[in-house]
Amino acid sequence: MPIYHQLGDIPRKRHIVFRSPQGGLYAEELIGNKGFVGPASLLYHAHQPTHVKQTRRMRDLQWESDPERQFRHRHFRTHQLTAGGSLVLDRVPVLFNPDVAMLFAQPTRGDDFFYRNAQGDEIVYVADGAGVLETQLGDIAFSQGDYLVIPRGILHRYTFTATPVRCLVIESTGYVRTPRRYRNEHGQLMETSPYSERDIRRPTNLRPRVEKGEFRLVVKKENRLHELVVEWHPFDVVGWDGYYYPWAINIHDFEPRVGRFHLPPPVHQTFEGDHFVVCSFCPRPYDFDPSAVPAPYNHSNVMSDEVIYYASSEFMSRKGIEYGSITLHPDGVPHGPHPGRTEASIGAQRTDELAVMLDTFRPLHVSRQALEIEDSDYYRSWLDA
Ligand SMILES: [Fe+2]
pLDDT tens track for 292-333? 999 999 999 899 999 999 998 776 667 788 999 999 999 999
pLDDT mean over 20-47: 95
* Distance from the Cα of residue 161 to its chain's centroid: 20
User: Cα of 335 to ligand 1 centre, how many Å?
Assistant: 6
Torsion angle of the four alpha carbons 287, 266, 103, 77, in this order, in degrees rounded to the nearest 10: 30
- Quick one: pLDDT at residue 316? 62
> Cα angle at 255 between 274 and 307, to 5 degrees?
40
With 0-12 / 13-18 / 19 or more C-beta atoms within 10 angstroms meaning exposed / middle / buried, residue 325 is buried
How many angstroms does the Cα of residue 210 sit away from the middle of ligand 1?
Answer: 51
How far, in Å, from the CA of 306 to the mean position of ligand 1?
A: 6
Q: 368: CA distance to ligand 1 center in Å?
A: 24
Please give the distance, rounded to the nearest whole angstrom, from the Cα atom of residue 229 to the centre of ligand 1: 46
Ligand 1 midpoint to CA 369 (Å):
24
CA separation for the pair 285, 292 (Å, rounded): 12
Residues 67-102 have pLDDT tens digits of 999 999 999 999 999 999 999 999 999 999 999 999
Condensed to tens digits (0 to 9), the pLDDT of residues 231-270 reads 999 999 999 999 999 999 999 999 999 999 999 999 999 9
Of 336, 308, 335, nearest to 324 (Cα)?
308
Determine the Cα–Cα distance for residues 268 and 100; give it in Å rounded to an integer: 19
Interval between CA 62 and ligand 1 midpoint (Å): 30
Instruction: Give 150 Cα–ligand 1 centroid separation in angstroms.
Output: 27
Say if CB 133 and CB 139 are below 8 A apart.
Answer: yes
Query: What pLDDT is stored for residue 62 in this prediction?
Result: 83
Query: Separation of 38 CA from ligand 1 center, angstroms?
Result: 34
21 alpha carbon – ligand 1 mean position (Å) = 59
pLDDT of 385 over the 80 cut: no
Q: How does pLDDT run across 135-156, given as a tens digit for each residue?
A: 999 999 999 999 999 999 999 9
Long-range contacts of 182-187 (CB under 8 A, 24+ apart): 183/2, 187/2
* 165 CA → ligand 1 middle, Å: 28
Give me the torsion for CA of 3, 248, 154, 270, rounded to 10°: -80
